[in-house]
C-alpha cells in the first residue's frame, strides 16, 4: 500500500510531461500539414 504514495505522483507527473510535449509539438507546427509529408516520397524532385 505504501508504494501507491510513490506511484500515483509519479504517474501524474508522467502524464503532465506527455501533455506538455504534445502541447509543445502542436504549438511549433509539427502537425500542420501531415498529408504533404506522406505524398512527398511519391514524387520525383
Distance separating alpha carbons of residues 1 and 39, to the nearest angstrom = 52
Q: What share of the chain is helix, strand, coil (3-state, %, to 5)?
A: 70, 0, 30
% the chain with pLDDT above 70: 98
Mean residue pLDDT of the chain comes to: 89
What pLDDT is recorded for position 45?
64
Task: Judge contact between 25 and 31, C-beta under 8 A.
Answer: yes
Confidence of residue 31 (pLDDT cuts 50, 70, 90): confident
Confidence of residue 27 (pLDDT cuts 50, 70, 90): very high
What pLDDT is recorded for position 29?
85
Amino acid at each position: 500500500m505504501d508504494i501507491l504514495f510513490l506511484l500515483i505522483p509519479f504517474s501524474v507527473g508522467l502524464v503532465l510531461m506527455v501533455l506538455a510535449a504534445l502541447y509543445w509539438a502542436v504549438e511549433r507546427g509539427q502537425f500542420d500539414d501531415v498529408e504533404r509529408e506522406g505524398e512527398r516520397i511519391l514524387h520525383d524532385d
